[in-house]
Amino acid sequence: MPTPIIRDVYTEYHSGSVMVTPPPSNIEFLSGWAEGGLLNFKYTISDKAAAISVFRGGPLLDALLERLDAGSSMIYAVRIGPAVKASLTLLHDGDPSIILEAKEPGSWWNGIQVEVSHSGSDYTIEITDPDDNTYAFTDTTEAGLVEKINAGQTLLTAVNLAGMGLPDDLETTNLSGGDDGAELTMADILAVITLSEQYTEVSWAHYIGAADFDADPWNPATPVATGFANTRALWTAIITSCNNMVNNNLGERFALLDFPRFEAVDPDQPTPAEIQTYVDRSIAAKADITSRNAVFILGEGKFNDPEGTVYADRIASAISGKMSDVPLQKSLLGEIPGNIVSLLPEFSLGQQTQLIMNNLNHLRIESGIGKIIALSNNNPPAGDAYNRIEKIRAIYSAGKQCRTAAFPHIGRANDAAGEGIKLLEEDMKRPLDLMKRNGEIDSYELTVNCTEEMRALGEAEVILSVNSMKAFEIILTKIYLD
């Protein structure tokens, strides 16, 4: 393992005030386009009602619900894309008077209806949303109307165009121009990758749409490097971000990486040849992309939405929710994500073997058991000791908790005898001992070295070795009774 240097660790410190409280873990970062929510704003989602209320629809909402069904407990969700707000300009004698603009971008706000009427000097603006909720505001001035509209509802914002006159009577009409921004660009994905880096507590990062920029990736006549050019470029950017987070001790970070979606002539009855092409091209696409922080997930499933409608989606969110739900070191073999009706496509035993050998995570259906996450592989370089998600999670969590325990020592005064180094070491071992008692790691070795020269500079060299070997596969076999 790399040997990090914790800078500015001074040594005069009274041990005992460090509380062994594990830092937040299993927080997921998720981005994609949606029908509701502010753009590029982080929402913290822990339940379905909040997810539906904020995002209304779209792939981002689907992914949130799939994760929550599978066991997710905290998700940072960010809406991205070129979405546009709906608006309506009210006129006075042909000139703009008041502009009404939706609070959020999206097509849903195109259904907001507006009616203007007056009686004597009283002018009334009536606003009705697509769910038939109506709000009426009456005043004798433009400024008064605008103030009441902005204070009395949360659908839209009114802007007074400085004394142009009260708006003319208007029979019911709608806001227009709102767009959900479903057509993401690579720039949208790259920007949200950068945004995610400020949330160092995030463990899992998934950027919906990052694999959807290639026109014909499954055509065997097209070279893999050409067919998957955009997907591979975004994979590289995502993995680089995760590697930087981990290598710079900023936080634990796994990249959940999708492939372009499976396509068949008949989606309900794909041929064995189509499925094999899907498997072969996927393996070839990621063959030279290695990182212990990369988790490749292949395949789709059919899900039930809140209204009971069945739809197809990638299985990455369901697997992510289950991964964030299981304890450290626990294998994902035998785990069953919720709310998956069926798999599309269903891989044969030979294809499953291919995927496992190439570190591609997927689901399989075992008769009488259910939907099983076959393995929990990350995609490390050759020779890396930690090639399983549950193992590397335990390693990263141990390092994170050690850094948390060391933080109170920073900035303390030096002492010549080095007693503070011993106290630092004791405090860093406390969370590790707790992890060992809880079965989250098997064993560890931790030493803190500090020469006279290092003490003068306020530095300490911390070497941590963690053994995480408890994860193993349960092999199910038939037992015959006479």
- Asked if residue 253 lies in contact with residue 399, where contact means CB atoms within 8 angstroms, the answer is no
How sure is the predictor about 472, in pLDDT bands with cuts at 50, 70 and 90?
Answer: low
pLDDT reading at 20 higher than 80: no
Domain 87-174: give its CATH architecture. Sandwich (2.60)
- Do residues 47 and 68 touch, judged by C-beta distance below 8 A? yes
CATH topology of domain 27-80+183-373: Rossmann fold (3.40.50)
How far CA 166 is from CA of 100, 104, 335, in Å, comes to 14, 26, 63
Q: Which residues contact 235 (CB under 8 A, 6 or more apart)?
A: 210, 255, 257, 286, 289, 294
- Pick the closest to residue 162 from 179, 176, 143 (CA basis): 143
Place of tokens 């004698």: 93
Q: How far apart are CA 320 and CA 70, in angstroms?
A: 8
Whether the pTM exceeds 0.85: the reply is yes
Helix (H, G, I), strand (E, B) or coil at 73: coil
- The predicted-structure confidence for 323-340, as pLDDT tens digits, reads as follows 889 888 888 888 899 899
Q: Which of 17, 74, 93 is nearest to 324 (CA)?
A: 74
Lowest mean pLDDT among 60-69, 378-387, 410-419: 410-419
Most confident option among 155-164, 174-183, 240-249: 174-183
Domain extent listing, the chain = 5-21+386-467, 27-80+183-373, 87-174
Please give the average per-residue pLDDT across 154-160, as a whole number: 94
Environment class of 37 (CB within 10 Å of its CB; exposed 0-12, middle 13-18, buried 19+): buried
Contacting residues for 419 by C-beta, under 8 A, at least 6 apart: 11, 12
